Amino acid sequence: MRDQITEEIRQLEEAIPKMIEIARGFNLDFYPMRFEICPGDIIYTFGAYGMPTRYTHWSFGKNYHRMKTQYDYNLSRIYEMVINSDPCYAFLLEGNTIIQNKMVSAHVLAHCDFFKNNVYFSSTNPKDIIESMAVAAERIRQYELIHGQQRVESFIDTVMSVQEHIEPHRMIKQKDPRDQEKKEKVCCSGNDKGTPYDDLWNLEKSAPSCNCQGNCARKKKTLPQQPEKDLLLFIMENAKGLEEWQLDILSTLRDEMIYFWPQMQTKIMNEGWATYWHLRIMREMDLDEAEVIEFAKMNAGVILPSRNSINPYYLGLKMFEDIEKRWDQEYGAGAGREKIFEIREIDNDASFLRNYLTKELVEELDLYLYRKIGHDWKIVEKNWEKVRDHLVSSMTNCGIPVIMVEDGDYDLRGELYLKNIFENRELDIKYLEKTLIHVYNLWNRPVHLETKIDNKPALFSFDGEKGNRKFL
């Protein structure tokens, strides 16, 4: 066994520099690479946690168990796991054949290029993510020792229920609400802030020239000033009664979600890009006949289409190849390659599909929409635009409903009013009502969520004891 692994490593050490050279020749641009060969259950652990150093939670154990069972029964197999970090860690499955490892290495080089160059990843912190997650995990472990496992665990359960409701595009600068406040300070509303003695400092100032009779104070108090998508942030900044450790967990889970979000929103592109490149890098390698066949078989498995879902590897690959071909035809050889490099830099799945999925491709790939009619799942649509538009809308916000904080002081009673930005897709009502309880546990005051049921606006509420729903 030992010898076999040494041999495995030796062969890889020989192959990887070649592949790196080929990849560089193709202008792929990646971080320094760390390849680690590890046993199946370790890869599955990382797969379940999304990161080797993440905090501990039973739900990861559940994922791990499911993935490992599938692996044990030979139902599925992850060949690799790659992490958006600098240096980039790639975990290869022990027992992969050398040719599998070569393909996987080529695949992860392209993933790493994507991590490094796609604009949506620019807000992640690949240099210190592994460390910072490890430190956070350790802090959470300390909280368990201090506050008890049950309490910490159930708080994490609560935060996890809304962890997807963040604003990942903070890079688009927002108006700082404090600027606004400063401008309005001259008005009478400035008086209601801070300690009761603050007015002593202002004795010499003239009385505010405002005849609002307190009205503008009330107006300014509206929280948030504009509807806020980042529910976690809003709760962190405004919820009453959360303890320091709870705020820390909130902020930790939010940071981790911001880190994972770009991966969620570029799944098709990222896998398509990696598949596109592993094919091309492998073609440049000297493979003997048996290796070529093995590689072809493995590649075929990766891009196998599914009747019930979209295989991101296949769709992404086909789209990149299609774009390259079309641009080459129109603007001359080489233009296609340039175009796909541009796309990998500036697009995400939603824009990628919206801009580049063509009629011909939808028809060639035989994509369709299906839904449940009676007890059957039936194909209901093959019109390419409808298919494309549906794909795009299902990628929007990573397929997660958009919930906005409308009012943090609803009815002037400190209640939280959320609004689902309705996009013709109804929410799962049972889930909604249960999640609202979690939101209550964070906000500690009654919470409301407005959405639409059968196209009529409806309001769901939870006041700490019972839920309530009504049409508006």
Give the residue, chosen from 116, 139, 157, 255, that forms a contact with other proteins under the rule CB under 8 A: 157
Give the residue, chosen from 435, 442, 448, 450, that forms a contact with other proteins under the rule CB under 8 A: 435
Question: Hey, which residues does 379 pair with through a beta bridge?
Answer: 370
Q: Is 401 in the site for other proteins (CB under 8 A)?
A: yes
Closer of 136 and 188 to other proteins (Cβ): 136
Specify the length of the chain in residues.
Answer: 472
Site string for other proteins, 176-215 (x = CB under 8 A): ----------------------------------------
Q: Is 368 in the site for other proteins (CB under 8 A)?
A: yes
Give the residue, chosen from 243, 359, 382, 464, that forms a contact with other proteins under the rule CB under 8 A: 382
Q: Is 307 in the site for other proteins (CB under 8 A)?
A: yes
Applying CB under 8 A, which part among 194-202, 209-217, 254-262, 306-314 lies near other proteins?
A: 306-314
Give the residue, chosen from 432, 442, 447, 458, that forms a contact with other proteins under the rule CB under 8 A: 432
Strands 80-82 and 88-93: antiparallel
Sole residue written with tokens 């069972």? 69
Q: Is 42 in the site for other proteins (CB under 8 A)?
A: yes
Residues 3-22 that bind other proteins (CB under 8 A): 5, 9, 12-13, 16-17, 20-21
Closest distance of CB 289 from other proteins, Å: 26
Q: Hey, is 106 helix, strand or coil?
A: helix
Closest distance of CB 42 from other proteins, Å: 5
Is residue 105 within 8 Å of 333, Cβ to Cβ?
no
Closer of 11 and 191 to other proteins (Cβ): 11
Tally Cβ neighbours within 10 Å of residue 272: 29
Closer of 54 and 220 to other proteins (Cβ): 54
Is residue 204 within 8 Å of 179, Cβ to Cβ?
no
Residue 355, exposed/middle/buried by CB under 10 A (0-12, 13-18, 19+)? Answer: exposed
Give the residue, chosen from 22, 57, 298, 344, that forms a contact with other proteins under the rule CB under 8 A: 57
Closest residue by Cα to residue 19 from 108, 81, 126: 108
Closer of 187 and 453 to other proteins (Cβ): 453
Q: Is 367 in the site for other proteins (CB under 8 A)?
A: yes
Strands 415-420 and 447-453: parallel
Applying CB under 8 A, which part among 51-59, 241-249, 290-298, 319-327 lies near other proteins?
A: 51-59
The C-alpha atoms of residue 202 and residue 186 are separated, in whole angstroms, by: 11
Closest distance of CB 379 from other proteins, Å: 4
Q: Is 430 in the site for other proteins (CB under 8 A)?
A: yes
Q: Is 394 in the site for other proteins (CB under 8 A)?
A: yes
Q: Is 359 in the site for other proteins (CB under 8 A)?
A: no
Applying CB under 8 A, which part among 59-67, 249-257, 268-276, 290-298 lies near other proteins?
A: 59-67
Closer of 129 and 162 to other proteins (Cβ): 162
The C-alpha atoms of residue 414 and residue 392 are separated, in whole angstroms, by: 37
> Which residues neighbour 203 within 8 Å (Cβ) at sequence distance 6 or greater?
none
Closer of 129 and 391 to other proteins (Cβ): 391
Q: Is 371 in the site for other proteins (CB under 8 A)?
A: yes
Closest distance of CB 415 from other proteins, Å: 18
Q: Hey, is 442 helix, strand or coil?
A: helix
Applying CB under 8 A, which part among 34-42, 182-190, 192-200, 202-210 lies near other proteins?
A: 34-42
Q: Hey, is 243 helix, strand or coil?
A: coil
Is residue 232 within 8 Å of 140, Cβ to Cβ?
no
Give the residue, chosen from 26, 50, 78, 94, that forms a contact with other proteins under the rule CB under 8 A: 94
Q: Is 135 in the site for other proteins (CB under 8 A)?
A: no
Give the residue, chosen from 305, 414, 457, 467, that forms a contact with other proteins under the rule CB under 8 A: 305
Residues 160-179 that bind other proteins (CB under 8 A): 160-162, 164-165
Closer of 49 and 273 to other proteins (Cβ): 49
Q: Where are the beta strands (DSSP E) in 217-275?
A: none
Residue 393, exposed/middle/buried by CB under 10 A (0-12, 13-18, 19+)? Answer: middle
What's the maximum distance between 2 C-alpha atoms anywhere in the chain?
Answer: 91
Sole residue written with tokens 């059968």? 454
Closest distance of CB 209 from other proteins, Å: 46
Closest residue by Cα to residue 42 from 11, 85, 78, 84: 78
The C-alpha atoms of residue 118 and residue 81 are separated, in whole angstroms, by: 19
Give the residue, chosen from 22, 45, 258, 461, that forms a contact with other proteins under the rule CB under 8 A: 45
Residue 366, exposed/middle/buried by CB under 10 A (0-12, 13-18, 19+)? Answer: exposed
The C-alpha atoms of residue 102 and residue 14 are separated, in whole angstroms, by: 10
The C-alpha atoms of residue 258 and residue 166 are separated, in whole angstroms, by: 7
Closer of 377 and 471 to other proteins (Cβ): 377
